[in-house]
């Protein structure tokens, strides 16, 4: 159904050997230069394919890819003009290859500040950072080595951005927020907008100025058009290695633990704290001032209004433990039958 779009990619087997390094055992070989990546059932000659999930192992035999990444214990043999790369984590090997392809398609620019950027003389920008056109960097900001601010990024007063972070176009980082090393923030996201707080007196909503900050720890990725509000007084924190998708709302004073994953359109209300490696499904919403334990999983569209224990799996609005939710969902569908049976009993007992 999807006609394949071909970008102009060329990787020789020799280059791939270098990318994958000595973590790999090779079987077979190919004369093809590699031109793309595809799933096992769609790959053609010239493609790289991969077996990440054992349930698709049977697809390897008929796969026409010129190179297939397979687990280290995979016991099939490559066809003619086909190579297998055996490795502990084929999905990781694939990530390295795609990274190399990405660098080929979009080579990183030369360090330096574009002539059309607006940089305060009181800001500090590393010599190895790259600042694109129409960026604004205000006084006191510190831009670390290897940072890449694509175009139209606004970096407020006193902001710190750690080494090798990449900030995409139209991102706004409000004053004094801190972004760690190796973070990625996608286009249009807003880091440090005001928390939503008003003191309502005699019918007037008086603004409560929000004087805290947002801190992204190292290795955080933020999707596109996501919003993270600054804390009322101290810190809204996104823990090390957490990954947040597009259009997510993080309210003031929220704490997201390291390694947590928030899927698109999730909303977390003020002061709620997520532990480590919490997973929140798309469009779920969490009320304020809750605690979610380490490793909890919150299903898509859930409405969470109470604390959640470590390791719990929940779903629904208000949320229920996942198996309870499933059982009740089944019974709800049987409500019409249920009413009939009840009525029949009533008639029989008259």
Report d(CA 350, CA 15) in Å as an integer. Answer: 84
* Closest by Cα among 143, 137, 102 to 120: 137
Within 109-138, the residues that bind a copy of itself by CB under 8 A are 114, 116, 118, 132-134, 136
With respect to a copy of itself, which residue has the nearer C-beta, 14 or 207?
207
Query: 151-189: buried (b, 16+ CB within 10 Å) or exposed (e) per residue?
Result: bbbbbbebbbbbbbbbbbbbbbbbbbbbbbbbbbbbbbb
Structure tokens belonging to residue 87: 């490795």
Q: Restricting to residues 227-286, name those near a copy of itself by CB under 8 A.
A: 227, 229, 233-235, 237, 241, 243, 245-247, 249, 251, 255, 259, 261, 263-265, 267, 269, 273, 277, 282-283, 285
- With CB under 8 A as the contact rule, the residue among 159, 172, 256, 278 that binds a copy of itself is 172
Which one of residues 44, 163, 187, 310 is an interface residue with a copy of itself (CB under 8 A)?
187
Contact range with a copy of itself by CB under 8 A, out of 19-27, 55-63, 78-86, 313-321: 313-321
Q: Shortest distance, CB of residue 165 to a copy of itself, whole angstroms?
A: 13
Q: Does 164 bind a copy of itself (CB under 8 A)?
A: no
**Cα angle vertex 68, ends 67, 73, to 5°?**
140
The CA distance from 176 to 128, in Å, is 22
- Active site (annotated) includes residue 252: yes
Q: Which of 15, 142, 208, 294 is in the footprint of a copy of itself by CB under 8 A? A: 208
The site for a copy of itself, by CB under 8 A, has a size of: 124
Asked if 91 is part of the footprint of a copy of itself (rule: CB under 8 A), the reply reads: yes
* Residue 211 found at the interface with a copy of itself (CB under 8 A): yes
For residue 318, cis peptide bond before it (omega within 30 degrees of 0): yes
- Distance of alpha carbon 91 from alpha carbon 260, whole angstroms: 20
Span 287-306, contacts to a copy of itself by CB under 8 A: 287, 300-301, 303
CA dist., res. 223 & res. 188, Å (int): 9
Among 210, 256, 278, 296, interactor with a copy of itself by CB under 8 A: 210
Catalytic, out of 186, 252, 289, 319: 252
Could you tell me where the DSSP H helices lie in 2-72? 13-20
Annotated active-site positions, please?
252
């Amino acid at each position: 159904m999807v006609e394949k779009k071909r970008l102009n990619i060329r990787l020789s087997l020799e280059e791939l050997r270098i990318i994958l390094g000595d973590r790999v055992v090779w079987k077979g070989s190919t004369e093809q230069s590699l031109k793309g990546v595809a799933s096992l059932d769609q790959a053609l000659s010239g493609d790289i394919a991969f077996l990440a999930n054992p349930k698709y192992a049977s697809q390897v035999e008929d796969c026409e890819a010129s190179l297939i990444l397979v687990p280290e214990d995979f016991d099939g043999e490559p066809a003619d003009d086909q190579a297998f790369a055996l490795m502990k984590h084929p999905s990781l090997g694939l990530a390295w290859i795609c990274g190399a392809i990405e660098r080929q398609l979009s080579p990183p620019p030369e360090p330096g500040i574009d002539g059309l950027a607006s940089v305060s003389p009181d800001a500090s920008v590393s010599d190895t950072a790259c600042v694109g056109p129409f960026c604004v960097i205000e006084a006191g900001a510190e831009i670390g080595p290897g940072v890449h601010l694509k175009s139209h990024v606004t970096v407020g007063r006193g902001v710190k951005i750690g080494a090798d972070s990449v900030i995409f176009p139209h991102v706004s980082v409000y004053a004094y927020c801190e972004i760690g090393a190796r973070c990625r923030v996608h286009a249009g996201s807003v880091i440090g907008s005001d928390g939503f707080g008003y003191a309502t007196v005699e019918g007037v909503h008086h603004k409560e100025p929000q004087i805290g900050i947002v801190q992204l720890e190292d290795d955080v990725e933020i999707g596109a058009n996501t919003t993270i509000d600054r804390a009322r007084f101290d810190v809204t924190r996104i823990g090390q290695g957490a990954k947040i998708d597009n259009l997510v709302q993080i309210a003031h004073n929220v704490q997201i633990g390291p390694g947590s994953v928030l899927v698109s359109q999730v909303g977390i209300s003020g002061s709620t704290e997520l532990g480590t490696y919490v997973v929140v499904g798309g469009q779920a919403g969490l009320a304020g001032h809750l605690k979610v334990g380490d490793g909890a999983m919150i299903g898509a569209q859930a409405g969470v209004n109470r604390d959640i224990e470590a390791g719990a799996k929940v779903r629904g609005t208000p949320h229920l433990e996942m198996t309870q939710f499933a059982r009740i969902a089944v019974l709800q569908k049987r409500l019409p039958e249920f009413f009939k049976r009840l009525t029949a009993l009533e008639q029989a007992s008259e």
